[in-house]
Amino acid sequence: MIYTVTLNPAIDYVVNVDQFQVGEINRSKFDYKEAGGKGINVSRVLNHFGTISTALGFVGGFTGEFITDYLTSLNISHDFVSLQQDTRINVKMKSESEETELNGVSPEIKESDYKTFNSKIRNLTAGDIVVLAGSLPDSLPTDTYRDIVATLRQQGVTAILDSSGIPFSEAIKAKPAFVKPNNHELAELFNEKIETEQDIVTLANRFIKTLKLTMY
């Protein structure tokens, strides 16, 4: 079974305008809302290609209900932990020339909430595949992904990682089966600038040699 983990989901509220003007009244040409978060996006893509997955993570409030209803409408299975606070809303203002984002504050994840989530992780078995994707909410420590990957490896579960920053650099210490760093994340990891395609290749090779990722 494939599971996706989105610890910091959001409603993405996308607003299209002719030209966004700071300090002025802006009127949208059209807008739409959808369930956001990298793990959720993975479930959506898998669903598009006819592959079943279950979305895990945290949701709360009326915004959390929007996300679960959205996934249900697509026939995507989900087993989120319910929070007291609302799931965040991320606003994306798009015009022909630029895009401006305003990301909402993450809800608090209490210790009891995380224990409930962790019990779901510990119930997974050998042969399962888990995709850990996206950012971490502020209330979780930066080594959260590392701990999850370590737990999954002990259980014989394949862990796939797609994150960035300190949570990413911490998680790869636990040696997930697969990782998906983009060029920005590679540059951030090694504190280097990427200006050419060869720079990307060089950093990717350095990444493989330095971290010695193992395959199951």
pLDDT greater than 50 at residue 216: no
Tell me the pLDDT tens digit for each residue of 116-171.
999 999 999 999 999 999 999 999 999 999 999 999 999 999 999 999 889 988 99
Over 90: is that where the pLDDT of 192 sits? no
The answer to the question of residue 161 being in a domain is yes
> Is 142 domain-assigned?
yes
Q: Of 144 and 187, which is predicted with more confidence? A: 144
Sign of CA dihedral 9, 15, 16, 18: negative
Q: How many residues does the chain have?
A: 216
What pTM was estimated for this model as a whole? 0.87
CATH of the domain at 73: 3.40.1190.20
CA distance 61 to 10: 12
**How far, in Å, CA of 10 to CA of 86, rounded?**
10
CB 126 within 8 A of CB 156: yes
Q: How many domains does the chain have?
A: 1
Query: What is the per-residue pLDDT across 49-108, written as a single tens digit (0 to 9) for each?
Result: 999 999 999 999 999 999 999 999 999 999 999 999 999 999 999 988 888 899 999 999
Residues whose CB is less than 8 angstroms from the CB of residue 13 and which lie 6 or more positions away in sequence, other chains included:
31, 32, 33, 89, 90, 91, 92
**pLDDT confidence of residue 205:** 78
Domain enclosing residue 65, as ranges: 2-8+37-83+106-180
Confidence of residue 9 (pLDDT cuts 50, 70, 90): very high
Q: Do the domain assignments include residue 194?
A: no
Residue 114 in domain: yes
Least confident of 37-51, 142-156, 188-202: 188-202
pLDDT of residue 215: 39
